[in-house]
Chains A and B, each alone.
Chain A
């Protein structure tokens, strides 16, 4: 099976601080992978390395066999590598519809048009309208993002990711800050994704991890210390000591 994304021997250090050490992993079509690890393990740094926001000091990334290590952020996005942010990064002064519409139009390569009323283009409108409805944001379509609650903004972050039709989707704590009763919408949205794309999710909410992931990567101090199925992870002694602690014990007790 082709690797949608592959990291080979990726390391990154800032000055003398090694944030990522010799990370190797592969994502294949249909993968649903959770990346877990204690705070400061370098999870977000790893996502930043994959997207090209920061450059690795060593190692390479590949997408479908092509090396992407030297490509710019937009070039990687055009190849289908899409991320969401841990702390929301949105077009705050635009409406919710505009935020999602921009992603759709960029994907469709129509953001170079100078004279057409953008958000209301029929083919664009149908798409953002559907995405927003699925996430329960349809009533907020014409509100400015800056006026919305943080939890709602988190869902827009996801909506933009979906609108880009990713091949590899990196979700950086998609449920952080989302009110508890809204959280299932995130899982629903992920379940609706085409089955052949690869999804890598950083998440602290272990309930969500176990519902979502078929494979778990555990990162500690910049190193991948474990890879396996969710059940193997909870059983692994080292992982429990490094991270899971009481959660695994509680899960076993029940």
Chain B
């Protein structure tokens, strides 16, 4: 047998924590643009950030694991209600309320995941709707706890770090939400590239192959659902804290469907896609709904058709392929 000398594959040149730094910086720049150029729209932008957590969460299960779901608002809503109820009952520290939202979202995620990921395809989709509807029905029926169809109001959180009061211009709420988003986004960037995250992407590509390298699929999907629940729970809690109310809309089917649209619009399977989809959809909706309150849904529908036809894998995909082509050219030179 001839001896073959193995050559080492050259290392990929990359700056340590480069991606994380770029992610954090981009969000801060976008946030600064919002804060300084649109000071009257901070309440809206805060709401946008809250929803962005839900879309990121959906991206984890749908984009990274290929789970079809139309009930994802449940995790968000449960986080929002948990934080809201805790605040009404006397726990007012915003950080503590966030932690409560995370906890509730995680539990909800684990429960939904355990049910939904047992199945695949259409049964999975139907089950996800059923879980979502069940949570919505409970939120309505348990009106002594949740405020029912009137919504849960009277949420008045304390000062952030005991210093910054939530003001009526939503400055504190916006900056607080933005700060949390930066932290969560950076953590998620690490998470999706971790061995666990990479394996999830593999399972989405071919689950039989994954099994044949020794992976048990189901427990991993449940864990991923738990992580997604935590992220959605943060979004819910932030929304509850910053708006002061939690309504049935936060667990509604429409919310679940809308965030799926945002994810597809931006590009599932990329964290940036989730973020881009949220920003574009919500700003488009905000502007068009203000300009033409009767026909704005028509325009949103048209926009979606155009994007699905011309960029079926989301708006982020052409940007990424352009970037990688540019990079390859750079390496060749």
Contact = CB atoms under 8 A, between A and B. Distances in A.
B9 A73 contact: no
B29 interface: no
A94 B187 CA distance: 21
Nearest to A107: B214
B195 A72 contact: no
B83 to A, nearest CB: 24
A57 interface: no
B325 interface: no
A138 B11 CA distance: 11
Contact of B214 (A78, A121, A129): A78
B9 A115 contact: no
Given A102-B202, A117-B193, A118-B195, A83 B212 contact: yes
Interface stretch (A20-28, A84-92, A228-236): A84-92
A92 B206 contact: yes
Nearest to A192: B1
A111 B210 CA distance: 12
A192 B4 CA distance: 10
A218 interface: no
B8 to A, nearest CB: 5
Contact of A106 (B1, B12, B193, B199): B199
Interface string A106-117: 110011111111
B201 A111 contact: no
B193 A160 contact: no
B213 A164 contact: yes
A176 interface: no
B4 A134 contact: yes
A94 B201 contact: yes
B194 A118 contact: yes
Contacts, number: 120
A117 to B, nearest CB: 6
Q: Chain A interface: which size bin?
A: 35 or more
A85 B11 CA distance: 30
A47 B198 CA distance: 28
A219 interface: no
Contacts of B4: 133-134, 188
B209 A115 contact: no
Contacts of B194: 113-118
A135 B317 CA distance: 32
Contacts of A89: 206, 208-209, 212
A111 B272 CA distance: 24
A117 B192 CA distance: 9
Interface string A216-240: 0000000000000000000000000
Contact of A102 (B11, B198, B216): B198
A118 B214 contact: no
Contacts of A110: 195
B211 A112 contact: no
B117 to A, nearest CB: 16
A106 B8 contact: no
11 contacts: A73-B212, A77-B211, A89-B212, A94-B198, A94-B201, A106-B214, A115-B194, A133-B4, A133-B6, A133-B8, A188-B4
Q: Which 3 A-B pairs have the closest CB atoms?
A: A77-B214, A133-B6, A91-B202
